[in-house]
Amino acid sequence: MTTIAECIRVLLADDHAIVRAGIRQFLEHAGDIQVIAEADDGEIAKGLIQQKLPDVVVLDIQMPKASGIDVTRWVRANFPKVGVLILTAFDDDPYVLAVLKAGANGYVLKTASPADLIKAVRDVYIGKSVLDPSITQKLLAQLRHSEESIQVEQLTEREVEVLALAAKGFTNKAIGVQLGISDRTVQGHLAHIFDKFHTGSRTEAVMRAVSLGLISQSIGNITED
């Protein structure tokens, strides 16, 4: 757990005040998380993110003026170091895929327990990706179905090794140490993997590799570095 001096600074964005109040209570009860600002629409969220520079933004998907998807895309373009955790009631495949493509670090359903939500915020804070277990299998099924219409180029043996280590949560530097290559080379391998798999993040790439049977690891906390 982080110390008080290292408190995780969180911004909440949800258009329902009672929902924000409940989330805030859960998070601040953890002791190492501080909610520094709240927003009830996407445009206000953008302004507060720019002003406050939180460590993690917890966003709903459906909000007035700018959706959680729009805000996620804006955060990635302007503040890449800010973690984005989607907390929503929607588990529909299009929503999940859209926020992952937009660059969200995590996707948790509002049915999650307070402990799971707190863990998700902590994981996003340290650079990991988080997917709600209840939607992981649905996404894998969606990816398997998409293989029928997408031509996927075969990965090299080294690329499979890199992706397998990424699936275990290793950073670029740690993968490089494991394989005896530089982290820049690791980054190059990941870029080639993304191109071959038509994906934009490690989470998507790992999920596609699992769906293709290239690696056996299930989706876990994947470091996006």
End-of-domain residue from the set 100, 129, 158: 129
% the chain with pLDDT above 90:
46
**Residue 158: which residues within 8 A CB-CB, separation 6 or more?**
179, 189
How many structural domains is the chain composed of?
2
Of 129, 154, 185, which residue sits at a domain end? 129
Residue 137 lies in a domain: no
Quickly state the pLDDT bin for 126 (edges 50, 70, 90): confident
Is residue 86 in a domain?
yes
User: Are 112 and 162 in the same domain?
Assistant: no
Domain presence at residue 172: yes
For the chain, give the mean pLDDT.
83
Same-domain check for residues 14 and 112: yes
97 in any annotated domain: yes
Same domain, 111 and 85: yes
Residue 177 has pLDDT above 70, yes or no: yes
The dihedral of CA 85, 169, 199, 112: what is its sign?
negative
pLDDT at 201: 76
Q: Which of 129, 159, 188 is a domain's end point?
A: 129
- Looking at residue 75, what is its pLDDT? 94
Is the confidence at residue 4, as pLDDT, over 50? no
Pairing status of strand 83-88 against strand 106-109? parallel
Q: What is the pLDDT of residue 1?
A: 47
> In the predicted model, is pLDDT for residue 225 greater than 70?
no
Q: Do 30 and 114 share a structural domain? A: yes
**What's the pLDDT score for residue 219?**
47
**CA pair distance 74, 70, nearest whole angstrom:** 6
- Residue 72 sits in a domain of what CATH number? 3.40.50.2300
Residue 72's domain comprises 4-129
Position 216 confidence tier, pLDDT thresholds 50, 70, 90: low
Instruction: Give the other-Cβ count within 10 Å of 224's Cβ.
Output: 17
Q: Do 73 and 16 share a structural domain?
A: yes
Among 72-76, 182-186, 214-218, name the one with the lowest average pLDDT: 214-218
The answer to whether 45 touches 73, Cβ cutoff 8 Å, is no
The confidence score (pLDDT) of residue 218 equals: 47
Please check whether residue 170 lies inside any domain of the structure.
Answer: yes
118-128 exposure pattern, b = at least 16 Cβ within 10 A, e = fewer: bbbbbbbbebb
**135 assigned to some structural domain:** no
pTM of the shown model: 0.66
The 10 Å Cβ neighbour count of residue 134 is 12
Question: Is residue 199 in some structural domain?
Answer: yes
Closest CA to 199 of 155, 168, 156, 169: 155
- Percent of the chain beyond pLDDT 70? 84
Are 117 and 161 contained in the same domain?
A: no
Residue 16 sits in the same domain as residue 110: yes
Q: Are residues 110 and 20 in the same domain?
A: yes
**β-strands 56-59, 33-39 pairing:** unpaired
| CATH value at residue 163 | 1.10.10.10
Q: Check whether 217 has a pLDDT greater than 50.
A: no
Q: Are residues 16 and 120 in the same domain?
A: yes
Region 46-55 average pLDDT: 96
Q: Residues 202, 205, 208, 209: is their CA dihedral positive or negative?
A: negative
| Residue 58, domain member (yes or no) | yes
Domain shared by 12 and 95, yes or no? yes
Residue 94 exposure: Cα atoms within 13 Å on the Cβ side? 0
Q: Summarize the confidence of residues 208-225 as an average pLDDT.
A: 63
Same domain, 32 and 67: yes
Q: Are residues 155 and 120 in the same domain?
A: no
For residues 154-184, one letter each, b for 16 or more C-beta atoms within 10 angstroms of the residue's C-beta and e for the rest, the string is: ebeeebbbbbbbbbbbbbbebbbeebebeee
Average pLDDT over residues 89-98: 75
